[in-house]
Structure 1
Amino acid sequence: MTDQTQTAAAAGTAAGQARLVAIPRLAAGGRWRVEAMRAISEPMLLWFTKGQGRITIAGVTRGYTAHNAVFIPAGVMHGFEVGPQVFGTAVFFGKDCPIPLPQTPQLLRIREVHAQQEVNVILDMILREMNSDSPAHERATRHYLGLLGVWLERQSVKAAPEQAKPDAAKRLVARYTALLERDFRTGAGVSEFAAALGVTPTHLSRCCRQACGRSALSLLQDRRIFEARRMLAETRLPVGEIGASLGFTSAAYFTRAFQHLTGKSPTEFRKSV
Protein backbone atom coordinates (compact mmCIF):
# COMPACT_ATOMS: atom_id res chain seq x y z
CA MET A 1 0.00 0.00 0.00
CA THR A 2 1.23 3.52 -0.67
CA ASP A 3 1.83 5.86 2.26
CA GLN A 4 -0.87 8.15 0.88
CA THR A 5 -3.36 5.29 0.86
CA GLN A 6 -2.33 4.27 4.35
CA THR A 7 -2.81 7.76 5.72
CA ALA A 8 -6.39 7.74 4.51
CA ALA A 9 -7.07 4.09 5.28
CA ALA A 10 -9.51 3.43 8.06
CA ALA A 11 -12.32 1.31 6.76
CA GLY A 12 -14.71 -1.24 8.17
CA THR A 13 -16.94 -3.90 6.75
CA ALA A 14 -19.96 -5.77 7.96
CA ALA A 15 -17.99 -8.93 7.09
CA GLY A 16 -16.90 -9.60 10.65
CA GLN A 17 -16.13 -5.93 11.31
CA ALA A 18 -12.63 -6.28 9.91
CA ARG A 19 -10.77 -2.98 9.66
CA LEU A 20 -7.63 -1.58 8.08
CA VAL A 21 -5.98 1.32 9.88
CA ALA A 22 -2.76 3.16 9.04
CA ILE A 23 -0.33 2.44 11.88
CA PRO A 24 0.37 6.14 12.61
CA ARG A 25 -3.38 6.66 13.15
CA LEU A 26 -3.36 4.12 15.97
CA ALA A 27 -1.41 6.67 18.01
CA ALA A 28 -3.50 9.66 16.92
CA GLY A 29 -5.07 9.95 20.37
CA GLY A 30 -1.68 9.72 22.09
CA ARG A 31 1.27 7.36 21.84
CA TRP A 32 0.17 5.74 25.09
CA ARG A 33 -2.60 4.04 23.09
CA VAL A 34 -0.06 1.81 21.35
CA GLU A 35 3.01 1.88 23.59
CA ALA A 36 1.37 0.83 26.87
CA MET A 37 0.89 -2.84 27.67
CA ARG A 38 -2.63 -3.98 26.81
CA ALA A 39 -4.53 -6.68 24.93
CA ILE A 40 -7.37 -6.42 22.45
CA SER A 41 -10.28 -8.77 21.90
CA GLU A 42 -9.57 -9.57 18.23
CA PRO A 43 -6.57 -10.84 16.25
CA MET A 44 -4.37 -8.20 14.65
CA LEU A 45 -1.70 -8.11 11.96
CA LEU A 46 0.82 -5.27 11.82
CA TRP A 47 2.57 -4.83 8.47
CA PHE A 48 5.43 -2.33 8.76
CA THR A 49 6.57 -0.72 5.50
CA LYS A 50 8.91 1.95 6.85
CA GLY A 51 10.75 2.78 10.06
CA GLN A 52 11.85 0.74 13.02
CA GLY A 53 11.24 0.35 16.73
CA ARG A 54 10.67 -2.17 19.48
CA ILE A 55 7.62 -4.29 20.14
CA THR A 56 6.79 -6.24 23.29
CA ILE A 57 4.49 -9.26 22.93
CA ALA A 58 3.60 -11.49 25.88
CA GLY A 59 6.38 -9.85 27.88
CA VAL A 60 9.15 -10.42 25.30
CA THR A 61 10.70 -7.41 23.55
CA ARG A 62 12.15 -7.57 20.04
CA GLY A 63 13.03 -5.07 17.37
CA TYR A 64 11.00 -4.53 14.21
CA THR A 65 11.82 -2.79 10.97
CA ALA A 66 10.44 -2.33 7.45
CA HIS A 67 8.94 -5.44 5.83
CA ASN A 68 8.20 -7.07 9.16
CA ALA A 69 4.80 -8.67 9.74
CA VAL A 70 3.68 -9.07 13.34
CA PHE A 71 0.64 -11.18 14.16
CA ILE A 72 -0.89 -10.87 17.65
CA PRO A 73 -3.74 -13.21 18.65
CA ALA A 74 -6.70 -11.87 20.61
CA GLY A 75 -6.06 -11.47 24.33
CA VAL A 76 -2.24 -11.35 24.09
CA MET A 77 -0.70 -8.39 25.92
CA HIS A 78 1.48 -6.18 23.75
CA GLY A 79 2.77 -2.67 23.15
CA PHE A 80 5.00 -1.14 20.51
CA GLU A 81 6.82 2.06 19.65
CA VAL A 82 5.44 4.26 16.88
CA GLY A 83 7.97 6.90 15.97
CA PRO A 84 7.38 9.68 13.42
CA GLN A 85 9.06 7.65 10.66
CA VAL A 86 7.04 4.46 11.19
CA PHE A 87 4.48 3.61 8.51
CA GLY A 88 2.42 0.56 7.71
CA THR A 89 -0.99 -0.98 8.07
CA ALA A 90 -2.79 -2.62 10.99
CA VAL A 91 -5.37 -5.25 10.07
CA PHE A 92 -8.01 -5.98 12.71
CA PHE A 93 -9.75 -9.24 11.84
CA GLY A 94 -12.83 -8.78 14.05
CA LYS A 95 -13.91 -10.55 17.23
CA ASP A 96 -15.61 -13.49 15.54
CA CYS A 97 -13.22 -13.93 12.65
CA PRO A 98 -13.86 -17.25 10.83
CA ILE A 99 -10.50 -17.16 9.03
CA PRO A 100 -7.90 -19.71 10.24
CA LEU A 101 -5.10 -17.72 11.87
CA PRO A 102 -2.03 -18.61 13.96
CA GLN A 103 -2.68 -19.45 17.60
CA THR A 104 0.60 -17.92 18.79
CA PRO A 105 2.26 -14.53 18.20
CA GLN A 106 4.43 -14.26 15.11
CA LEU A 107 7.17 -11.75 14.22
CA LEU A 108 8.07 -12.43 10.61
CA ARG A 109 10.89 -10.78 8.68
CA ILE A 110 9.69 -10.84 5.07
CA ARG A 111 12.88 -10.77 3.01
CA GLU A 112 11.57 -11.99 -0.35
CA VAL A 113 10.44 -9.13 -2.58
CA HIS A 114 7.63 -11.13 -4.16
CA ALA A 115 6.18 -11.91 -0.70
CA GLN A 116 6.34 -8.20 0.18
CA GLN A 117 4.57 -7.32 -3.05
CA GLU A 118 1.99 -10.05 -2.52
CA VAL A 119 0.86 -8.77 0.88
CA ASN A 120 0.77 -5.19 -0.41
CA VAL A 121 -1.52 -6.23 -3.26
CA ILE A 122 -3.80 -8.19 -0.91
CA LEU A 123 -4.09 -5.24 1.47
CA ASP A 124 -4.86 -2.89 -1.41
CA MET A 125 -7.62 -5.20 -2.63
CA ILE A 126 -9.11 -5.54 0.87
CA LEU A 127 -9.22 -1.77 1.23
CA ARG A 128 -10.70 -1.34 -2.25
CA GLU A 129 -13.51 -3.78 -1.53
CA MET A 130 -14.17 -2.26 1.90
CA ASN A 131 -14.62 1.14 0.31
CA SER A 132 -16.66 -0.19 -2.62
CA ASP A 133 -20.41 -0.20 -3.11
CA SER A 134 -20.19 -2.79 -5.91
CA PRO A 135 -22.35 -5.90 -5.67
CA ALA A 136 -20.87 -8.64 -3.43
CA HIS A 137 -18.14 -6.35 -2.11
CA GLU A 138 -18.52 -7.78 1.41
CA ARG A 139 -18.06 -11.32 0.09
CA ALA A 140 -15.03 -10.17 -1.88
CA THR A 141 -13.62 -8.61 1.28
CA ARG A 142 -13.98 -11.91 3.13
CA HIS A 143 -12.19 -13.77 0.35
CA TYR A 144 -9.30 -11.32 0.30
CA LEU A 145 -9.04 -11.54 4.09
CA GLY A 146 -8.88 -15.31 3.60
CA LEU A 147 -6.00 -14.85 1.16
CA LEU A 148 -4.27 -12.70 3.78
CA GLY A 149 -4.69 -15.54 6.27
CA VAL A 150 -3.15 -17.96 3.74
CA TRP A 151 -0.22 -15.59 3.16
CA LEU A 152 0.33 -15.33 6.91
CA GLU A 153 0.20 -19.10 7.38
CA ARG A 154 2.70 -19.70 4.57
CA GLN A 155 5.12 -17.10 5.90
CA SER A 156 4.81 -18.53 9.43
CA VAL A 157 5.59 -22.05 8.21
CA LYS A 158 8.52 -20.77 6.16
CA ALA A 159 9.94 -18.92 9.18
CA ALA A 160 9.39 -21.76 11.67
CA PRO A 161 12.89 -23.28 11.39
CA GLU A 162 14.43 -19.89 12.21
CA GLN A 163 12.18 -19.17 15.18
CA ALA A 164 13.99 -19.71 18.47
CA LYS A 165 12.01 -21.63 21.04
CA PRO A 166 11.28 -19.53 24.14
CA ASP A 167 13.42 -20.36 27.14
CA ALA A 168 12.09 -20.91 30.66
CA ALA A 169 12.26 -17.21 31.53
CA LYS A 170 10.27 -16.16 28.48
CA ARG A 171 7.71 -18.89 29.07
CA LEU A 172 7.25 -17.66 32.65
CA VAL A 173 6.85 -14.05 31.52
CA ALA A 174 4.28 -15.12 28.91
CA ARG A 175 2.31 -16.86 31.66
CA TYR A 176 2.62 -13.77 33.86
CA THR A 177 1.34 -11.39 31.18
CA ALA A 178 -1.59 -13.72 30.42
CA LEU A 179 -2.48 -13.84 34.12
CA LEU A 180 -1.96 -10.10 34.43
CA GLU A 181 -4.30 -9.42 31.51
CA ARG A 182 -6.97 -11.54 33.15
CA ASP A 183 -6.65 -10.19 36.69
CA PHE A 184 -5.17 -6.69 36.51
CA ARG A 185 -8.41 -5.18 37.82
CA THR A 186 -8.36 -7.17 41.06
CA GLY A 187 -5.84 -5.04 42.92
CA ALA A 188 -3.43 -7.97 43.20
CA GLY A 189 0.23 -7.05 43.42
CA VAL A 190 3.33 -8.70 42.04
CA SER A 191 3.61 -10.94 45.11
CA GLU A 192 0.14 -12.37 44.51
CA PHE A 193 0.83 -12.93 40.82
CA ALA A 194 4.18 -14.58 41.59
CA ALA A 195 2.54 -16.88 44.14
CA ALA A 196 -0.09 -17.90 41.60
CA LEU A 197 2.74 -18.77 39.20
CA GLY A 198 4.67 -20.71 41.84
CA VAL A 199 7.73 -18.45 41.88
CA THR A 200 9.13 -15.68 44.07
CA PRO A 201 8.52 -12.02 43.20
CA THR A 202 12.29 -11.57 42.81
CA HIS A 203 12.56 -14.40 40.31
CA LEU A 204 9.53 -13.16 38.37
CA SER A 205 10.92 -9.65 38.13
CA ARG A 206 14.34 -10.97 37.10
CA CYS A 207 12.76 -12.94 34.28
CA CYS A 208 10.73 -9.91 33.16
CA ARG A 209 13.87 -7.78 33.00
CA GLN A 210 15.62 -10.51 31.03
CA ALA A 211 12.74 -10.83 28.55
CA CYS A 212 11.74 -7.20 28.03
CA GLY A 213 14.00 -4.96 30.11
CA ARG A 214 11.23 -4.05 32.56
CA SER A 215 10.25 -5.21 36.02
CA ALA A 216 7.13 -7.22 36.79
CA LEU A 217 5.79 -4.19 38.68
CA SER A 218 6.37 -1.91 35.70
CA LEU A 219 4.33 -4.21 33.45
CA LEU A 220 1.50 -4.33 36.00
CA GLN A 221 1.46 -0.56 36.48
CA ASP A 222 1.56 0.02 32.72
CA ARG A 223 -1.47 -2.22 32.16
CA ARG A 224 -3.53 -0.59 34.90
CA ILE A 225 -2.65 2.96 33.91
CA PHE A 226 -3.40 2.26 30.24
CA GLU A 227 -6.87 1.12 31.25
CA ALA A 228 -7.27 4.18 33.46
CA ARG A 229 -6.31 6.48 30.58
CA ARG A 230 -8.68 4.68 28.23
CA MET A 231 -11.60 4.99 30.65
CA LEU A 232 -10.84 8.64 31.39
CA ALA A 233 -10.67 9.40 27.65
CA GLU A 234 -13.65 7.33 26.50
CA THR A 235 -16.13 7.45 29.40
CA ARG A 236 -17.53 10.02 31.81
CA LEU A 237 -17.28 7.76 34.84
CA PRO A 238 -16.17 9.56 38.03
CA VAL A 239 -12.45 9.34 38.80
CA GLY A 240 -13.06 7.47 42.04
CA GLU A 241 -15.20 4.88 40.27
CA ILE A 242 -12.52 4.30 37.65
CA GLY A 243 -9.88 3.83 40.36
CA ALA A 244 -12.07 1.38 42.26
CA SER A 245 -12.73 -0.65 39.09
CA LEU A 246 -8.97 -1.07 38.69
CA GLY A 247 -8.36 -2.28 42.23
CA PHE A 248 -7.19 0.96 43.84
CA THR A 249 -8.32 1.14 47.46
CA SER A 250 -9.18 4.85 47.39
CA ALA A 251 -9.61 7.72 44.96
CA ALA A 252 -6.66 9.51 46.58
CA TYR A 253 -4.38 6.50 46.10
CA PHE A 254 -5.47 6.20 42.47
CA THR A 255 -4.83 9.90 41.84
CA ARG A 256 -1.35 9.74 43.38
CA ALA A 257 -0.40 6.63 41.39
CA PHE A 258 -1.78 8.05 38.13
CA GLN A 259 0.00 11.37 38.56
CA HIS A 260 3.28 9.69 39.50
CA LEU A 261 3.25 7.59 36.33
CA THR A 262 1.84 10.09 33.83
CA GLY A 263 2.75 13.51 35.20
CA LYS A 264 -0.91 14.57 35.27
CA SER A 265 -3.80 14.03 37.65
CA PRO A 266 -6.71 11.99 36.28
CA THR A 267 -8.81 15.16 35.98
CA GLU A 268 -6.04 17.03 34.14
CA PHE A 269 -5.55 14.10 31.78
CA ARG A 270 -9.29 13.90 31.02
CA LYS A 271 -9.36 17.60 30.16
CA SER A 272 -6.38 17.22 27.83
CA VAL A 273 -7.87 14.50 25.60
Structure 2
Amino acid sequence: MRTLPFPTARSVGGVGMQVATMDDGTAWRADAPAHRVHRIDFHVVMFFSAGPVRHMIDFAEYEATAGDVLWIRPGQVHRFSARDGYRGTVLTMQPGFLPRPVVEATGLYRYDLPPLLRPAPDELDALLASLTQLRREYEDTALPPALHSSVLRHQLTAFLLRLAHLAASSAEAERHRADTTFTLFRDAVERGFATNHSVSAYADALAVSRRTLVRAVRAATGQTPKGFIDRRVVLEAKRLLAHTDLPIGRVGAAVGFPDAANFSKFFHQHTDMTPAAFRTELRQGAGAG
Protein backbone atom coordinates (compact mmCIF):
# COMPACT_ATOMS: atom_id res chain seq x y z
CA MET A 1 0.00 0.00 0.00
CA ARG A 2 1.37 3.39 -0.98
CA THR A 3 1.92 6.14 1.58
CA LEU A 4 1.53 9.48 -0.16
CA PRO A 5 3.59 12.42 1.08
CA PHE A 6 2.33 15.96 1.34
CA PRO A 7 2.69 17.55 -2.16
CA THR A 8 4.62 20.63 -1.09
CA ALA A 9 5.44 21.54 -4.69
CA ARG A 10 1.78 22.29 -5.34
CA SER A 11 1.43 24.77 -2.47
CA VAL A 12 1.46 28.50 -3.02
CA GLY A 13 4.94 29.59 -1.98
CA GLY A 14 5.82 26.03 -0.97
CA VAL A 15 4.19 26.37 2.46
CA GLY A 16 3.02 23.33 4.41
CA MET A 17 -0.68 23.71 3.64
CA GLN A 18 -3.08 24.09 0.74
CA VAL A 19 -6.64 25.27 0.27
CA ALA A 20 -8.29 24.39 -3.04
CA THR A 21 -11.52 23.57 -4.79
CA MET A 22 -12.23 19.85 -4.74
CA ASP A 23 -13.43 19.66 -8.32
CA ASP A 24 -9.98 20.87 -9.43
CA GLY A 25 -8.35 17.44 -9.29
CA THR A 26 -4.81 18.64 -9.97
CA ALA A 27 -4.89 20.95 -6.95
CA TRP A 28 -5.50 18.44 -4.21
CA ARG A 29 -5.10 14.83 -5.29
CA ALA A 30 -1.66 13.28 -5.02
CA ASP A 31 -0.10 11.60 -8.03
CA ALA A 32 -1.83 8.23 -7.59
CA PRO A 33 -5.17 6.64 -8.52
CA ALA A 34 -7.41 8.19 -5.88
CA HIS A 35 -9.93 5.34 -5.94
CA ARG A 36 -7.29 2.83 -4.78
CA VAL A 37 -6.63 2.27 -1.09
CA HIS A 38 -3.69 4.38 0.08
CA ARG A 39 -2.25 6.01 3.19
CA ILE A 40 -1.35 9.69 3.62
CA ASP A 41 1.16 11.39 5.89
CA PHE A 42 -0.76 14.67 6.10
CA HIS A 43 -4.16 16.01 7.13
CA VAL A 44 -7.08 16.34 4.71
CA VAL A 45 -10.24 18.26 5.65
CA MET A 46 -13.00 18.20 3.04
CA PHE A 47 -16.02 20.51 3.09
CA PHE A 48 -18.75 19.16 0.82
CA SER A 49 -21.05 21.45 -1.14
CA ALA A 50 -22.87 18.53 -2.81
CA GLY A 51 -23.38 14.82 -2.39
CA PRO A 52 -23.86 12.11 -1.46
CA VAL A 53 -20.27 10.88 -1.66
CA ARG A 54 -19.12 7.55 -0.22
CA HIS A 55 -15.56 7.65 1.14
CA MET A 56 -13.65 4.85 2.88
CA ILE A 57 -11.51 5.74 5.91
CA ASP A 58 -9.71 3.00 7.84
CA PHE A 59 -11.92 0.39 6.14
CA ALA A 60 -15.19 2.00 7.27
CA GLU A 61 -17.51 3.58 4.69
CA TYR A 62 -18.77 7.11 5.34
CA GLU A 63 -21.44 8.90 3.32
CA ALA A 64 -21.04 12.67 3.15
CA THR A 65 -23.37 15.19 1.59
CA ALA A 66 -23.70 18.96 1.31
CA GLY A 67 -22.73 20.65 4.59
CA ASP A 68 -20.73 17.68 5.88
CA VAL A 69 -17.03 17.64 6.74
CA LEU A 70 -14.56 14.74 6.49
CA TRP A 71 -11.31 14.96 8.48
CA ILE A 72 -8.66 12.38 7.51
CA ARG A 73 -5.55 12.28 9.69
CA PRO A 74 -1.96 11.22 8.93
CA GLY A 75 -1.48 7.48 8.74
CA GLN A 76 -5.11 6.69 8.08
CA VAL A 77 -5.95 4.45 5.15
CA HIS A 78 -8.56 5.80 2.80
CA ARG A 79 -10.01 5.58 -0.70
CA PHE A 80 -11.95 8.01 -2.86
CA SER A 81 -15.11 6.92 -4.60
CA ALA A 82 -14.55 6.19 -8.29
CA ARG A 83 -18.19 6.99 -9.09
CA ASP A 84 -19.13 9.98 -6.94
CA GLY A 85 -18.26 13.57 -7.81
CA TYR A 86 -16.42 15.49 -5.08
CA ARG A 87 -17.59 19.11 -4.82
CA GLY A 88 -16.56 21.65 -2.24
CA THR A 89 -13.36 22.90 -0.64
CA VAL A 90 -10.42 20.92 0.69
CA LEU A 91 -7.71 21.89 3.16
CA THR A 92 -4.52 19.84 3.35
CA MET A 93 -1.68 20.45 5.79
CA GLN A 94 1.62 18.99 6.87
CA PRO A 95 1.78 17.87 10.49
CA GLY A 96 4.93 19.92 11.07
CA PHE A 97 3.51 23.17 9.73
CA LEU A 98 2.13 24.16 13.15
CA PRO A 99 4.03 24.34 16.47
CA ARG A 100 3.51 21.53 18.98
CA PRO A 101 1.34 23.52 21.47
CA VAL A 102 -1.09 24.28 18.65
CA VAL A 103 -1.05 20.64 17.51
CA GLU A 104 -1.99 19.53 21.02
CA ALA A 105 -4.63 22.25 21.53
CA THR A 106 -6.36 21.44 18.25
CA GLY A 107 -6.34 17.65 18.69
CA LEU A 108 -4.68 16.99 15.36
CA TYR A 109 -3.90 13.41 16.42
CA ARG A 110 -7.17 12.56 18.16
CA TYR A 111 -7.78 9.37 16.21
CA ASP A 112 -10.64 8.54 18.58
CA LEU A 113 -12.69 11.40 17.14
CA PRO A 114 -15.12 10.69 14.29
CA PRO A 115 -13.89 11.48 10.74
CA LEU A 116 -17.36 12.51 9.57
CA LEU A 117 -18.69 15.74 11.06
CA ARG A 118 -22.15 17.21 10.49
CA PRO A 119 -22.06 20.80 11.78
CA ALA A 120 -25.23 22.72 12.53
CA PRO A 121 -25.94 25.58 10.10
CA ASP A 122 -24.44 28.26 12.37
CA GLU A 123 -21.35 26.10 13.03
CA LEU A 124 -20.92 25.48 9.32
CA ASP A 125 -21.25 29.20 8.52
CA ALA A 126 -18.55 30.06 11.07
CA LEU A 127 -16.22 27.33 9.79
CA LEU A 128 -16.68 28.35 6.16
CA ALA A 129 -16.10 32.02 6.98
CA SER A 130 -12.86 31.07 8.73
CA LEU A 131 -11.86 28.80 5.84
CA THR A 132 -12.61 31.55 3.32
CA GLN A 133 -10.35 33.95 5.20
CA LEU A 134 -7.66 31.27 5.41
CA ARG A 135 -7.88 30.71 1.66
CA ARG A 136 -7.65 34.44 1.01
CA GLU A 137 -4.48 34.64 3.06
CA TYR A 138 -3.13 31.47 1.45
CA GLU A 139 -3.52 32.91 -2.06
CA ASP A 140 -2.05 36.31 -1.14
CA THR A 141 1.38 36.28 -2.77
CA ALA A 142 2.10 39.94 -2.04
CA LEU A 143 3.48 39.21 1.42
CA PRO A 144 7.13 38.25 2.00
CA PRO A 145 7.47 34.46 2.39
CA ALA A 146 8.28 34.49 6.13
CA LEU A 147 5.38 36.82 6.90
CA HIS A 148 3.09 34.83 4.63
CA SER A 149 3.84 31.63 6.56
CA SER A 150 3.38 33.37 9.92
CA VAL A 151 0.00 34.81 8.94
CA LEU A 152 -1.13 31.43 7.63
CA ARG A 153 -0.16 29.67 10.86
CA HIS A 154 -2.22 32.11 12.92
CA GLN A 155 -5.20 31.89 10.58
CA LEU A 156 -4.94 28.09 10.39
CA THR A 157 -4.80 27.84 14.19
CA ALA A 158 -8.03 29.84 14.54
CA PHE A 159 -9.73 27.64 11.96
CA LEU A 160 -8.52 24.38 13.55
CA LEU A 161 -9.64 25.43 17.03
CA ARG A 162 -13.17 25.78 15.66
CA LEU A 163 -12.91 22.46 13.84
CA ALA A 164 -11.49 20.66 16.89
CA HIS A 165 -14.33 21.98 19.05
CA LEU A 166 -16.85 20.64 16.52
CA ALA A 167 -15.11 17.24 16.40
CA ALA A 168 -15.03 16.92 20.20
CA SER A 169 -18.67 18.01 20.49
CA SER A 170 -19.69 15.54 17.79
CA ALA A 171 -17.89 12.73 19.59
CA GLU A 172 -19.65 13.57 22.86
CA ALA A 173 -23.02 13.72 21.09
CA GLU A 174 -22.29 10.38 19.43
CA ARG A 175 -21.47 8.82 22.80
CA HIS A 176 -24.72 10.16 24.20
CA ARG A 177 -26.66 8.78 21.24
CA ALA A 178 -24.90 5.44 21.62
CA ASP A 179 -25.73 5.32 25.33
CA THR A 180 -29.36 6.13 24.60
CA THR A 181 -29.54 3.60 21.76
CA PHE A 182 -28.05 0.86 23.93
CA THR A 183 -30.43 1.62 26.80
CA LEU A 184 -33.42 1.41 24.48
CA PHE A 185 -32.05 -1.80 22.95
CA ARG A 186 -31.42 -3.36 26.35
CA ASP A 187 -34.96 -2.58 27.46
CA ALA A 188 -36.40 -3.91 24.21
CA VAL A 189 -34.45 -7.16 24.56
CA GLU A 190 -35.67 -7.56 28.14
CA ARG A 191 -39.25 -7.26 26.92
CA GLY A 192 -38.91 -9.34 23.78
CA PHE A 193 -36.09 -11.90 24.02
CA ALA A 194 -38.55 -14.77 24.51
CA THR A 195 -39.96 -14.24 21.02
CA ASN A 196 -37.53 -12.00 19.14
CA HIS A 197 -33.90 -12.94 18.48
CA SER A 198 -33.45 -10.80 15.36
CA VAL A 199 -30.96 -7.90 15.46
CA SER A 200 -32.56 -6.34 12.39
CA ALA A 201 -35.99 -6.47 13.99
CA TYR A 202 -34.72 -4.64 17.08
CA ALA A 203 -32.96 -2.04 14.90
CA ASP A 204 -36.16 -1.47 12.94
CA ALA A 205 -38.20 -1.14 16.12
CA LEU A 206 -35.74 1.46 17.46
CA ALA A 207 -35.65 3.29 14.10
CA VAL A 208 -31.86 3.01 13.81
CA SER A 209 -29.65 1.29 11.27
CA ARG A 210 -28.20 -2.10 12.07
CA ARG A 211 -24.73 -0.55 11.90
CA THR A 212 -25.67 2.15 14.42
CA LEU A 213 -27.03 -0.50 16.76
CA VAL A 214 -23.87 -2.59 16.45
CA ARG A 215 -21.70 0.44 17.32
CA ALA A 216 -23.86 1.39 20.31
CA VAL A 217 -23.98 -2.10 21.80
CA ARG A 218 -20.29 -2.72 21.21
CA ALA A 219 -19.38 0.62 22.84
CA ALA A 220 -21.49 -0.15 25.90
CA THR A 221 -20.74 -3.87 26.37
CA GLY A 222 -17.97 -4.97 24.03
CA GLN A 223 -20.45 -7.43 22.51
CA THR A 224 -22.40 -7.55 19.30
CA PRO A 225 -26.19 -7.11 19.51
CA LYS A 226 -26.58 -10.78 18.58
CA GLY A 227 -24.23 -11.78 21.38
CA PHE A 228 -26.15 -9.62 23.84
CA ILE A 229 -29.47 -11.20 22.84
CA ASP A 230 -28.06 -14.71 23.00
CA ARG A 231 -26.62 -14.14 26.49
CA ARG A 232 -30.02 -13.00 27.74
CA VAL A 233 -31.74 -16.03 26.19
CA VAL A 234 -29.18 -18.41 27.73
CA LEU A 235 -29.56 -16.77 31.13
CA GLU A 236 -33.32 -17.21 31.06
CA ALA A 237 -32.98 -20.80 29.89
CA LYS A 238 -30.60 -21.54 32.76
CA ARG A 239 -33.02 -20.00 35.25
CA LEU A 240 -35.88 -22.13 33.97
CA LEU A 241 -33.77 -25.28 33.93
CA ALA A 242 -32.57 -24.63 37.46
CA HIS A 243 -35.75 -23.48 39.16
CA THR A 244 -38.58 -25.28 37.36
CA ASP A 245 -39.41 -28.82 36.36
CA LEU A 246 -40.54 -27.83 32.88
CA PRO A 247 -39.63 -30.35 30.19
CA ILE A 248 -36.69 -29.32 27.98
CA GLY A 249 -39.02 -28.64 25.06
CA ARG A 250 -41.16 -26.31 27.18
CA VAL A 251 -38.06 -24.44 28.37
CA GLY A 252 -36.98 -23.99 24.76
CA ALA A 253 -40.40 -22.73 23.75
CA ALA A 254 -40.37 -20.25 26.63
CA VAL A 255 -37.20 -18.62 25.25
CA GLY A 256 -38.18 -18.59 21.59
CA PHE A 257 -37.30 -22.06 20.30
CA PRO A 258 -40.45 -24.00 19.37
CA ASP A 259 -38.26 -26.91 18.20
CA ALA A 260 -36.55 -28.68 21.10
CA ALA A 261 -33.67 -29.89 18.94
CA ASN A 262 -32.86 -26.34 17.86
CA PHE A 263 -32.97 -25.19 21.46
CA SER A 264 -30.62 -27.96 22.58
CA LYS A 265 -28.19 -27.09 19.78
CA PHE A 266 -28.29 -23.38 20.66
CA PHE A 267 -27.81 -24.05 24.38
CA HIS A 268 -24.90 -26.41 23.73
CA GLN A 269 -23.20 -23.86 21.45
CA HIS A 270 -23.23 -21.29 24.24
CA THR A 271 -22.53 -23.47 27.28
CA ASP A 272 -20.77 -26.60 25.98
CA MET A 273 -23.53 -28.59 27.72
CA THR A 274 -26.93 -29.91 26.73
CA PRO A 275 -29.90 -28.49 28.66
CA ALA A 276 -30.45 -31.87 30.32
CA ALA A 277 -26.80 -32.14 31.38
CA PHE A 278 -26.86 -28.62 32.77
CA ARG A 279 -29.97 -29.35 34.83
CA THR A 280 -28.57 -32.65 36.12
CA GLU A 281 -25.20 -31.19 37.07
CA LEU A 282 -26.78 -28.22 38.81
CA ARG A 283 -29.13 -30.37 40.86
CA GLN A 284 -26.50 -32.94 41.76
CA GLY A 285 -24.29 -30.14 42.94
CA ALA A 286 -27.08 -28.68 45.02
CA GLY A 287 -27.79 -32.11 46.57
CA ALA A 288 -24.14 -32.60 47.45
CA GLY A 289 -24.10 -29.25 49.24
TM-score, normalised to structure 1's length? Answer: 0.50
Which one has more relative contact order, counting CA pairs under 8 Å at least 6 apart?
Answer: 1
Structure index of larger Rg: 2
TM-score, normalised to structure 2's length? Answer: 0.47
